Structures are given as structure tokens and as C-alpha cells.
Structure 1
Amino acid sequence: MKFNRNGDIRVDVLINELTPLRAKLADKSASLLTLAGLGYTLYDTARTAGADWIMWLAAFAVPLAFYPLTKWSMRQQFKRQQRVRFTKEQFQMGSWPFAKRFDRQLDHSFTLPPHDKREDEKESIQMEVLRGRQRGKLVQPEKYYGKSFHLVFEHLGERFDITEIYGEREAKRALDRLKSIDQVIDSITGSGSGTPLSPENEWFVIAGDLPPNKEE
């Protein structure tokens, strides 16, 4: 939380999460790297004179054992960053020169609807599973959009997407963070109905009332 030269509050937030498309690309990249590693270890073992069954077992097992770590690492690398900024008067999405600014004094909220492509993916997976059964294969495609959400800023009833987030826990964490910051700024500046941070913030001054006492 920062204050500019005029004493106005400013909070910059960096949302660093996977989108469903980036999660899918990260997993495919991890699979390709694992296959490449497996191919290398098998090739290297084949060139080793006197390779026994333990070496061949290791050649298979080591790349596969490292797959979960490779997958996690690739997902970290593929995360997308989205910046937002809060001030007393404005909420800003993105960075210059593509930033969008909205008046925070007007009616607004943060929501988390399911991803728009969730149903399309569901139908696609059902068809893929059906084709697999017809070929006598067990197919279990990974759900990406089915586990994803839109982080949305609603302003005067209009929807503005901040970012897409893969993972319910990650999406709710981002939503709670933005809501909390929004409420705290309202509480500090008295510009909204956020949770009071001190007794004097609980006063609602009307005509003829004395302002709340403040300690010197």
C-alpha cells in the first residue's frame, strides 16, 4: 500500500496465475520434455557396453519419476501476469498504454463466473470418451476450462474480464484478495461501505452532527 505526493492511497496488485490455455500448453511441454528425456536415457543406455537390467530399469524410471516435478516447473513458467491498481477514485486494469480505468465511486463489484468455454469442453470430452470406447480404449482427457474461471470486474452492470484463472482455489484466492483491498481502501478513505478499521470510521455524519472525537 502506497501514498503519492498528495497523500492519496494507491495499491498495485500483480495477479500471477495460469490460464486454462497456458495450463494445457505447460502440460504438453512437460510431456514432450519427459519423452525427450526418456529417449535420451534409452539411447545412452543402448550405447553403454554391458548394460544390465538395472540400468535399463533406471533409464525408464528416472524420466518418468521426474514428470511431476517437470509438470510443476513448466506450469510455473507458463503463468500469466496481470496488473491492477486501486486508488480512492479509480480501479485500473492493465498497464500503459492499454490500461482501462474505472470510477470506483460508482457501483462496482468483483465476481468469479465459470469459464465461458466450460460447456464446449465438456461436450468435446464426452465425444472423445465415446470414440475411445468404440475403439476399446479408456480415454480420460484432462479438464482445463472445466476447472477455470473468469475474474471479472463489474462496473455499472457491465462485465470487464480481468483475467482467466485455472484452478478453483487459485481463482477464489485472487477474488478474495481484490475484494479485501477494495473494502480496505473504502474503509480508510471513507469512500464506501468497507469494514471500519477504527471506531471513528463507524460514524455516519448527518447535518448538525458533531464529528467523532480524535485523539491528538
Structure 2
Amino acid sequence: MLEVFRQGPQTEVSQTTEGLQFCVKAKYLSPQAADDADSMGIACAFAAVIGSGFLGYQMGELNLLVGGLFAGGVFGRPLMQMSFRESAAKTATVYFTEKAIYLERKKGQLRLDRNHRHRFVMYEHPQAVIERDKIEIAKAKGKTNWVRYYSDSFVVALEYLGQRYNIAEVMNRHDAEMIIARFNLCDEYLDDLANSRKTNPLNPQDEWHDPAGGLPH
């Protein structure tokens, strides 16, 4: 079973008072966080270039320090943005037991009975259409310096008895699909486990059935 969890979202397996438990810790980057991280990278790169000019002026010469700072600002922006994106990533934690699903929320855990109707789904981000329209307008004007944030982002959610519980805003369809697949795998495995216990006897006495008309014990 553990082989299945080697790739994709981090998944821990343990035993609790409610039986077998899966803890899925899905790391993801939201489109807003990615946008903010990229803006921070641009700001830092710009500051490095300006800082190198100011430092060179104060020192009255161009040396390795000034040159390195300038080069970092000019060529280091992608690395800065990547670093900021990595630090901006969040983790969605969901617990699965044979009896319940636990969603980690800001105000604590939300417990939902697994016996009730539910399913994990992904919706297109509500700002996806707006961003696509803006990109089309930019293309029509001949602009090429745009980045997709929301148009390839999805909201991973749990639908439970007609209610929708948003779990994560995920930038990148593949990442969202990986999270959904892991949630469904854990959920379906526990369903199969519960069904097998209903059909398979737990002890020798469960295999014995009194004949019709037999004497009571």
C-alpha cells in the first residue's frame, strides 16, 4: 500500500481509535501567492540594480561587490521568483479514517461523517475567465509580457450533503488533479476496507449459522 504513496502528495498511514487513518498533506501554490511572489522577485531584482548603482557611486569605483549586485539584479530575477514561490507554498491537510473525514481549518478541525454522501471535486478558479479575457486583449494589442496565474488554476473542494467545503486554490491543473486523485484513493480504500469487513467473518463464531428451527442458546 505504501508504494502507491511514494509519488504525489505526502501521505502518512497510522492506526487510531477510529481504525486505519490516512493523513494527506498536499503542498500547493495558489495563483494569488504566485503573483505576489513574482512581484517580490521583480522588486528585489530592481532594488539590486538600483543598489549596485548607488553603491558604485558611493565607492567611486566598480568592483566585484558592485558587479555582483548588478548581475544578481539583472540575471537573478527568475531564481528570486522561484525562491519566493517556494516559500509562499501552503499545505492542505486532510485526515481520513474509517468513520470520518477531518478537514484542517483556520479555526480547527472539521469532522464529517464518511457514511454520508460526499465527493472530492475540482472547479475552475472563479477568476480564470477574467484573466483569459485580459490575455486575449493583450494578445490583440501585440503584448507578450503576460503570465497565466488564474486561467490554469482550480479550486479543490469537498462536496458533502449539498455543502461545498473549499480545501485549496491550486495553480496548475496537474497539481490539482494529483491532489484529487490522492483524496479519492484514500477515501475509496477505506470504503473497500469497510465493505470487506461486512462480508468477511471476523472470527470462527461468525461463520456458524443456526439451522432453521434450532434450539436457542
Tell me the TM-score normalised to structure 2 length: 0.74
| CA distance, structure 2, for counterparts of residue 75 and residue 184 of structure 1 | 33
Q: In the TM superposition, what is the alpha-carbon distance from 1:7 to its structure 2 partner?
A: 5.8
For the residue of structure 2 that corresponds to 1:120, the secondary structure is helix
User: Is 2:100 aligned against 1:90?
Assistant: yes
Gaps of 5+ in 1: 192-200, 212-216
Contact 1:45 1:59 in 2 (8 A): no
> Are 1:176 and 2:181 counterparts?
yes
**What is aligned with 1:152?**
157
Measure, in 1, the Cα distance between the counterparts of 2:175 and 2:74.
27
Report deviation, 1:50. 4.5
Aligned to 1:8: 19
* Equivalent runs, 1:135-150 vs 2, <5 Å: 138-150=143-155
2:85 matched to 1:75?
yes
Q: Say if 2:50 is the partner of 1:39.
A: yes
Pick the aligned partner of 2:123 from 113, 126, 133: 113
Question: Which residue of 39, 64, 72 maps to 1:62?
Answer: 72
Give me the whole-angstrom Cα distance separating, in 1, the residues matched to 2:100 and 2:65: 63
Q: What secondary structure sits across from 2:79 in the alignment? A: helix
In structure 2, distance between residues paired with 1:182 and 1:12:
11
Asked whether the 8 Å contact 1:115–1:146 carries over to 2, the reply is yes
Seen in structure 2, the aligned counterparts of structure 1 residues 96 and 164 have a Cα distance that, compared at 3 Å, is closer
Question: Take 2:65 and 2:85, find their aligned partners in 1: how far apart are those partners?
Answer: 30
**Secondary structure of the structure 1 residue equivalent to 2:112:** strand
Aligned length: 191
Deviations 1:10-61 (A, max 9, x none): 2222222111111111111111111111211222233344438x99875543
Task: Provide closer, same or farther for how the CA distance between residues 81 and 7 of structure 1 changes in structure 2, counting only shifts above 3 A.
Answer: closer
The structure carrying a bigger strand percent of its residues is 2
Amino acid in the other structure paired with 1:187: D
What SS does the corresponding residue of 2:27 show, helix, strand or coil?
strand
Unaligned runs of 5+ in 2: 1-12, 201-205, 208-217
Is 1:124 aligned with 2:134? Answer: yes
Alpha-carbon distance between aligned partners in 1 of 2:31 and 2:190, rounded to the nearest angstrom: 31
Q: Please list the CA deviations of residues 144-174 of structure 1 after superposition, one character each: whole Å capped at 9, or x if unmatched.
A: 1111101121223543211111112221221
> Do the aligned partners of 2:159 and 2:165 also contact (CA within 8 Å) in 1?
yes
What is the CA distance between 1:95 and its match in structure 2?
4.0
Which residue does 1:26 correspond to in 2? 37
Q: 1:104 aligns with which of 114, 122, 125?
A: 114
Native 8 Å contact 2:48 2:69 kept in 1: no
Q: In 2, Cα distance between the equivalents of 1:150 and 1:9?
A: 28
Runs of 4+ in structure 1 off by over 6 angstroms are 54-57
* C-alpha RMSD of the superposition: 3.0
SS at match of 1:146: coil
Give the aligned residue type for 1:149.
F
1:74 to 1:150, Cα distance in 2 relative to 1, 3 A: same
Q: Choose 105-114 or 25-34, whichever is displaced more.
A: 105-114
